[in-house]
Chains A and B, each alone.
Chain A
């Protein structure tokens, strides 16, 4: 290095930065694949020639892949040419430089080597199966790690595919299937005719032919498995573009659709896009052309350039079902590889009925109304988005099986990106480390994640619940499930972002967490943090956020939170993020984050503002503030719960309002409400930010007061009254003793309640 000696790192901060970046654990060895690529580069590329960069290769490949055929067919052509180029995807094989490949492709294009022209013709004019055995090697991996398609590997495969593509173009024909005289209607056993002139084509489709499946006969009711066109055992079907349900089935009855199956031992490979349900201008249209495609056990379907279920037709006819033992691979290939369930105005559905589906980019609700249910093995290499475009609706239900997604750091799971998305998780869902969830991704996005009773998600480092951009809306609905957040080291960002406000305090985006369930962390030694600019509502059971240790609220000035905050309704109980006592803090704040200690929050944010947040101060026997570094946990109870002692203040008479019931404990365990033991103290001072919006605006204050109550083991007694703007706060007038009731273990600060009650009402209610 030629560093200027005067420009050394002369501050502790700079030295720390440099040391952190150079730490041995932060260095990684070069991947063998990169080393192999470099060796190839340095041995093959001649700098005097224009060298085509990786991205340019990819661009060329992407353009040609529209026309490209299967890699297996490429192998055939390459073999015919003397094996000058290998179609294998092993990146260590010699590919040569791009200019050579381009020339090679052009040579292939000029060579009359199309497989279709060489097909043996059957007496009936139907081709045999000339490709059988030559292109059968269509396999794919379903492991998440392997789904991360590398550019270098893609490049190698793309070059081989590109070579094939130019050859394929010369022979492109649009073909349709005409029924043979008897079932089964097998791919090789039917009569292939031209799409436009309806004349016999005389050969089964090749990888350069576009295939449209429509017309009479290939239809059945929803539950009728009869009369499908099938790729039967031993058949290897190829197409370029493949359309199932084009401009209408012959019978426009609402229950009819085209049926297509890949059966046990059959292999379907499409070099071009696959579309189910297409309405195309310029033709006589049926309203709802539809296709039902099924991959049976032992069947294999490889879509190399994208799949659209419900391309442009409305109705509920478009569906792909992958049965147990069936496989669909929409990863292999080099095109866009977008798997879209419902595009344009289309409706579509896809079901992995215990089967296996591998996709590159997976969108449910492209522009239309899409539905997807996973009970098999779903792997998505890159993007997974539900409700992708404005106006779309996507619904995904994970009811069993596995779900693996690649590129977690750069491509989050989007639920309601531009449109509306609903992601229901009713079975364990294990993601890759460092995954992110975004509920409500853009200004028009509205995303809901539902965690059902047996549902769980883990390895998520960051969840944005309507917190990404202004206008977004996000909802995390807990229905008994568990969300386990991957706790990172000190210094990690907020794990849970709920809602968003601007610098003026105005609400910009909406987020809420509701229901019952648990948000946990995977490492008890590390923290996860929440930033709340929305609402958290325990509804119908325990909503446990006790694993979260801090609540960031660092850009909120006093009194701008409105109704944002913490709630418990319908028998719900909310376990707040726990809070630790700190030596330089005047108060311990729970459910909010105020300026203290000169670090962190804004200096003008001194008050708790989130509804039902609170502050407390503990004292030892000498009257000194207790700072023992222990934790405080708090639960907010819905007033209708029957485990609250006595008559809940605010529920004794009409017009009284119960504003909040809290139970608190000073405990030994960080961020864990289970099994915590009480740590002794002498007295406690508390302040609550109450839900003043629950008080009617026309209340006659000459007759009512807002009071703070404490349960002393036998009765609720008044210990404070409300104050502040709009009576937003209640606090203990004098410090209160530690709770020593029979149920004090772990909850030794005791029970407190705020209520609007009529003046003169009896405030001591015996149990």
Chain B
């Protein structure tokens, strides 16, 4: 019992440290995934709740950030599944045909202003958005993402490629003189 209490105390102390170091970053990760402050608050809170409960699974030899990101992303995936079951309650732009428009130059995203990119990201399907945030905001590598989400690396790479293509297609309709 005493040992258990010590372990619990350690977990609380370490998670408190993690929160101090990574809390704000994870909050911003959640915000970029959810695009909703209330949901992002809830997601951040649950991430640390679960980290606390599953602290015994944390490998102290590794950076905690990918581990925390993995918890957050997996909770977000579960939420997405829940939303999919209530799809009629979830409004999104009517999706255009999923044609990645290969004729569009790849550099088009780099020519869009940052705000346009973030807005296009907000219109991505949630699963794609999650990967883009993990890769390009949190700087997780493809192997790290694959490990945290229990996905093959090839799948992560393919989905990231698809996500970029969708972003490109979205931006191609709007940047440049047509939407200026």
Q: In the complex, what's the smallest C-beta–C-beta distance from A511 to chain B, in angstroms?
A: 11
Interface string of B3-29 (1 = CB under 8 A from A): 010011001100110010001100110
Q: Write the chain B residue with the least CB distance to A410.
A: B36
Interface string of A459-486 (1 = CB under 8 A from B): 0001010011100000000000000000
Residues of chain B lying within 8 A (CB to CB) of residue A489: 113, 115-116, 119
Q: In the complex, what's the smallest C-beta–C-beta distance from B11 to chain A, in angstroms?
A: 5
Rounded to whole angstroms, the CA-CA distance of A550 and B93 in the bound complex is: 18
- Which of these, A7, A37, A151, A488, contacts B141 with CB under 8 Å? A7
B35 near A: Cβ within 8 Å?
A: yes
Residues of chain B lying within 8 A (CB to CB) of residue A1: 63, 65-66, 139-141
B159 near A: Cβ within 8 Å?
A: no
Interface string of A7-37 (1 = CB under 8 A from B): 1010111111111111101111111011101
Contact present for A555 and B121 (CB under 8 Å): no
Contact present for A151 and B176 (CB under 8 Å): no
Contact present for B118 and A16 (CB under 8 Å): no
Contact present for A30 and B167 (CB under 8 Å): no
Contact present for A26 and B164 (CB under 8 Å): no
Residues of chain B lying within 8 A (CB to CB) of residue A152: 41-42, 45
Q: In the complex, what's the smallest C-beta–C-beta distance from A238 to chain B, in angstroms?
A: 30
Q: A21-B133, A30-B24 are in contact. Are A492 and B174 (CB under 8 A)?
A: yes
Residues of chain A lying within 8 A (CB to CB) of residue B85: none
Residues of chain B lying within 8 A (CB to CB) of residue A492: 116, 119, 174, 179
Contact present for B37 and A31 (CB under 8 Å): yes
Q: In the complex, what's the smallest C-beta–C-beta distance from B40 to chain A, in angstroms?
A: 9
Contact present for B52 and A47 (CB under 8 Å): yes
A111 near B: Cβ within 8 Å?
A: no
Q: Write the chain A residue with the least CB distance to B56.
A: A47
Q: Write the chain A residue with the least CB distance to B50.
A: A53
Contact present for A54 and B46 (CB under 8 Å): yes
Contact present for A41 and B91 (CB under 8 Å): no
Residues of chain B lying within 8 A (CB to CB) of residue A3: 139-141, 144
Q: Which of B92-128 contact A (CB under 8 A)?
A: 93-94, 96-97, 103-104, 106-121, 123
A46 near B: Cβ within 8 Å?
A: yes
Residues of chain A lying within 8 A (CB to CB) of residue B109: 13, 16-17
Rounded to whole angstroms, the CA-CA distance of A9 and B16 in the bound complex is: 32
Contact present for A412 and B107 (CB under 8 Å): no
B171 near A: Cβ within 8 Å?
A: yes
Q: In the complex, what's the smallest C-beta–C-beta distance from A487 to chain B, in angstroms?
A: 11
- Which of these, A19, A38, A407, A491, contacts B48 with CB under 8 Å? A38
Residues of chain B lying within 8 A (CB to CB) of residue A45: 49, 52
A80 near B: Cβ within 8 Å?
A: no
Residues of chain B lying within 8 A (CB to CB) of residue A503: 97
Rounded to whole angstroms, the CA-CA distance of A41 and B49 in the bound complex is: 7
Contact present for A554 and B173 (CB under 8 Å): yes
Residues of chain B lying within 8 A (CB to CB) of residue A555: 96-97
Q: A529-B179, A555-B97 are in contact. Are A599 and B172 (CB under 8 A)?
A: yes
Rounded to whole angstroms, the CA-CA distance of A592 and B32 in the bound complex is: 34
Contact present for A2 and B62 (CB under 8 Å): yes
Contact present for A17 and B117 (CB under 8 Å): yes
A600 near B: Cβ within 8 Å?
A: yes
Residues of chain A lying within 8 A (CB to CB) of residue B103: 598, 603
Q: Which of A588-644 contact B (CB under 8 A)?
A: 598-600, 603
Residues of chain A lying within 8 A (CB to CB) of residue B170: 491, 493
Residues of chain A lying within 8 A (CB to CB) of residue B24: 27, 29-30
Q: In the complex, what's the smallest C-beta–C-beta distance from B126 to chain A, in angstroms?
A: 12
Rounded to whole angstroms, the CA-CA distance of A550 and B115 in the bound complex is: 20
Q: Write the chain B residue with the least CB distance to A509.
A: B94
Contact present for B19 and A464 (CB under 8 Å): no
- Which of these, B16, B31, B140, contacts A28 with CB under 8 Å? B31
- Which of these, A34, A148, A549, A582, contacts B27 with CB under 8 Å? A34
- Which of these, A17, A33, A442, contacts B88 with CB under 8 Å? A442
Interface string of A271-306 (1 = CB under 8 A from B): 000000000000000000000000000000000000
Residues of chain A lying within 8 A (CB to CB) of residue B37: 31, 148
Rounded to whole angstroms, the CA-CA distance of A410 and B38 in the bound complex is: 11
Query: Of B45, B141, B171, which is in contact with the most chain A CB atoms at under 10 Å from its CB?
Result: B45
Q: A7-B141, A28-B31 are in contact. Are A42 and B172 (CB under 8 A)?
A: no
Contact present for A600 and B63 (CB under 8 Å): no
Residues of chain A lying within 8 A (CB to CB) of residue B178: 550, 599-600
- Which of these, B8, B23, B144, contacts A48 with CB under 8 Å? B8
Rounded to whole angstroms, the CA-CA distance of A51 and B48 in the bound complex is: 12
Residues of chain A lying within 8 A (CB to CB) of residue B120: 491
Query: Of B49, B103, B123, which is in contact with the most chain A CB atoms at under 10 Å from its CB?
Result: B49
Q: A4-B143, A442-B88, A550-B179 are in contact. Are A21 and B137 (CB under 8 A)?
A: yes
Q: In the complex, what's the smallest C-beta–C-beta distance from A610 to chain B, in angstroms?
A: 17
Contact present for A490 and B179 (CB under 8 Å): yes
A409 near B: Cβ within 8 Å?
A: yes
Contact present for B93 and A491 (CB under 8 Å): no
Contact present for A46 and B8 (CB under 8 Å): yes
B53 near A: Cβ within 8 Å?
A: yes
A527 near B: Cβ within 8 Å?
A: yes
Q: In the complex, what's the smallest C-beta–C-beta distance from A580 to chain B, in angstroms?
A: 7
Rounded to whole angstroms, the CA-CA distance of A42 and B121 in the bound complex is: 33
Rounded to whole angstroms, the CA-CA distance of A436 and B8 in the bound complex is: 47
Contact present for A17 and B52 (CB under 8 Å): no
Q: In the complex, what's the smallest C-beta–C-beta distance from B129 to chain A, in angstroms?
A: 11
Contact present for A493 and B88 (CB under 8 Å): no
- Which of these, A42, A46, A412, A500, contacts B94 with CB under 8 Å? A500
Q: In the complex, what's the smallest C-beta–C-beta distance from A430 to chain B, in angstroms?
A: 21
B166 near A: Cβ within 8 Å?
A: no
Contact present for B94 and A464 (CB under 8 Å): yes
A690 near B: Cβ within 8 Å?
A: no
Rounded to whole angstroms, the CA-CA distance of A42 and B12 in the bound complex is: 6
Residues of chain B lying within 8 A (CB to CB) of residue A653: none
A259 near B: Cβ within 8 Å?
A: no
Contact present for B167 and A17 (CB under 8 Å): yes
Q: In the complex, what's the smallest C-beta–C-beta distance from B1 to chain A, in angstroms?
A: 10
Residues of chain A lying within 8 A (CB to CB) of residue B39: 410
Q: Write the chain A residue with the least CB distance to B54.
A: A47
Q: Write the chain A residue with the least CB distance to B34.
A: A410
Rounded to whole angstroms, the CA-CA distance of A462 and B50 in the bound complex is: 37
Q: Write the chain B residue with the least CB distance to A33.
A: B41
A253 near B: Cβ within 8 Å?
A: no
Q: In the complex, what's the smallest C-beta–C-beta distance from A11 to chain B, in angstroms?
A: 7
Q: Write the chain B residue with the least CB distance to A7.
A: B141
Residues of chain B lying within 8 A (CB to CB) of residue A598: 103
Residues of chain A lying within 8 A (CB to CB) of residue B132: 17, 21
Contact present for B23 and A13 (CB under 8 Å): no
- Which of these, B27, B117, B179, contacts A527 with CB under 8 Å? B179
- For this complex, 18 residue pairs linking A to B, each with C-beta atoms less than 8 Å apart, are A4-B142, A4-B143, A9-B136, A14-B164, A16-B117, A17-B109, A17-B136, A18-B136, A21-B133, A22-B137, A23-B114, A42-B16, A46-B8, A412-B91, A436-B91, A468-B91, A490-B174, A490-B180
Beyond the given A13-B168, A21-B137, A599-B104, please list 7 additional residue pairs across the A-B interface where CB-CB is below 8 A.
Answer: A7-B143, A13-B164, A20-B115, A20-B121, A21-B121, A47-B53, A468-B94
User: What 9 A-B pairs are tightest by C-beta distance, nearest first?
Assistant: A491-B116, A16-B110, A20-B117, A20-B114, A21-B137, A12-B110, A18-B136, A489-B115, A3-B141
- B residues with a Cβ closer than 8 A to A are 4, 7-8, 11-12, 15-16, 19, 23-24, 27-28, 31-32, 35-39, 41-42, 44-46, 48-50, 52-53, 55, 62-63, 65-66, 88, 90-91, 93-94, 96-97, 103-104, 106-121, 123, 132-133, 136-137, 139-144, 164, 167-168, 170-180
